[in-house]
Amino acid sequence: MKYRYIAGACALSLTAACAQAQSMVKVYGVADAGIVLERGGAAGSMDNVSSGVASGSRLGFKGKEDLGDGLNAFFVIENGFAMDTGKAGQGGLLFGRQALVGLSGAAGSISLGRQYAPYYKALRDIADPFCTGLAGNAQNLFSTLTRVDNSVDYQSPKWHDLQVEVLYGAGEVAGDTAKHRTIGASATYEAGPLTVVLAHHQQGDMAGVAHSRNTMLVGRYRYGDIVFHGAYSRNRDLLGNPSRDALVGVAVRMGPGRWLASLMAHRDDYGRDAQARQAAIGYEYSLSQRTDLYAAYGHIINRDGAAFHVGNATDDGTGTTGINLGVRHVF
């Protein structure tokens, strides 16, 4: 009887070891909290202790399993939360930041769930030196197109320095597939220090009669410890009103620190011709590979009816001037 138990235990151990060798699950997250000073708001100045100023605070789980012949299964589920209050982020959704599952192999990857739009990833990862965080957040002026529910996303493998991503978000409205439908795509060229992305995002209304469109060209060039950023977008809202956005920025690494700066402009090309300009500067100082301190300043000038605010990674802001001081820990 003892031998049967020993044999069973050995078999179980070998099975667990094989499963561990073929699959991987990682727990990760960001704990970010800071002081946010806002000036120039309609209701007056505000001084806040805020969460997710440089990067949204989160707790995530990601996994990957080797299915053989170069095919892998993967998943990501990510919960956003507020460090200052402990509340759930993204309107209280359990996994409001990301929730997706997919397959990847030699032909690329395909995933389904709540995912980042290709347009947003181009703005965050390539165009904006602030990575859509702090008071320099590019989404203070550029269109806020972050996540897409009910979506299917395909990313091709790299071919001669070129990679393509296509996303389709089902509107899930009975009787008309065009209602509330989302279509996104990007083409990325990356060769050495240069990265260029052309991205597009299209969002249908609930009536299925109109859709907004955003098309953006972004670029990034690395020169030693200096990284140059740029972006230009043409937009059209659900009413057909056109507008333009532009950004130039730079990030400079100096020892354990990194300086960030950007200038942005927005212009409505209809009726009132509203305009806005933003200037921002920031500094990140690494205490370790996982922990850094940050400080940032951003200011917006609105003209001819424009009403943009200086926000950060998780807050749209209320004023035209924002000052951030805080700490971020990545685990």
Domain presence at residue 118: yes
Give the total number of structural domains in the chain.
1
Domain presence at residue 5: no
Domain presence at residue 72: yes
Looking at residue 273, what is its pLDDT? 82
Chunked mean pLDDT (size 10), the chain, 331 residues:
41 40 87 98 95 98 97 98 96 97 98 98 98 98 96 97 98 89 98 98 90 97 98 96 97 98 96 92 98 98 96 96 98 97
Phi, psi of 42, rounded to the nearest 5 degrees = -60, -35
Domain presence at residue 48: yes
Closest CA to 90 of 132, 143, 147: 147
Domain presence at residue 10: no
Domain presence at residue 60: yes
Looking at residue 162, what is its pLDDT? 98
Closest CA to 279 of 251, 259, 266, 298: 298
- The CATH number given to whatever domain includes residue 203 is 2.40.160.10
Torsion angle defined by CA atoms of residues 196, 210, 173 and 91, in that order, rounded to the nearest 10 degrees: 60
CA distance 293 to 326: 6
Q: Specify the pairing of strand 108-116 against strand 147-155.
A: antiparallel
Q: Which two tokens stand for residue 91?
A: 């309107």
Looking at residue 22, what is its pLDDT? 66
Domain containing 300 equals 23-330
Domain presence at residue 126: yes
